[in-house]
Amino acid sequence: MKIANLFSAVLVGSIFSSSIATAEVYVCDITSIKSGGGIASVIVFSINKNETEISVYDGYIKKYYGRPIEAGISVVNPKRYTFKWEVKMSGNTNVYGQNLPGIRYRATYLRAKHTISVRGFPMGYDNQYSGSGICRIEK
C-alpha cells in the first residue's frame, strides 16, 4: 500500500494540463500471469473529467521518467477504458539477459467490475507480458 500511495500522490501532484486537475485516480494492484517482469505490481492511472486525457505511472515509468506519462486513449465508453503507452528502457535487460529497448503497453479497465488487464509487448521481440488486477478509485 505504501508504494500505491506514493504513486497516487505523485500522479495527483503532476499536472499535464488544466483538465487533469479534476481527474479521477485509479490505483491498480496487478498480478503478473507469468514470471519475467515487464508488468509492474502497482499501476496508477488518471483520466480527466472529460475523458479525453489519461496519465499513467508505475515502477518502470518512475525508474525511466521519474514522473507520470500520458497514454493514448483507444476506447472510452460506459463499459471500459482502453489505453496505450510506451516506456523506453535504454540500457536495460530482462531476466533472460535480453536487451529491452522498451515496452509498449495496452490496458483495459472494466468500469463495472473495477478490473484491469494489462499486456506488455517488448519492442523487437515476439513474446509478451500480461497481468490483471483490481483497481480502486481515489480522488
> What is the 8-class DSSP label of residue 20?
G
Contact (Cβ atoms closer than 8 angstroms) between residue 61 and residue 68: yes
Please give the model's pTM, rounded to 2 decimal places.
0.80
Question: Percent of the chain at pLDDT above 70?
Answer: 74
**Encoded amino acid at 45, one letter:** F
- Mean of pLDDT values over 76-94: 87
Q: What is the pLDDT of residues 88-134, one digit of tens each?
A: 986 666 667 766 688 999 999 999 999 999 999 988 878 899 999 99
- Mean of pLDDT values over 63-72: 94
Average pLDDT, the chain: 84
Asked if residue 13 has pLDDT above 60, the reply is no
In order of their start, the domains of the chain are: 2-138 (2.40.160)
For residue 1, what pLDDT is reported? 46
Q: How many angstroms separate the CA atoms of 88 and 127, rounded?
A: 17
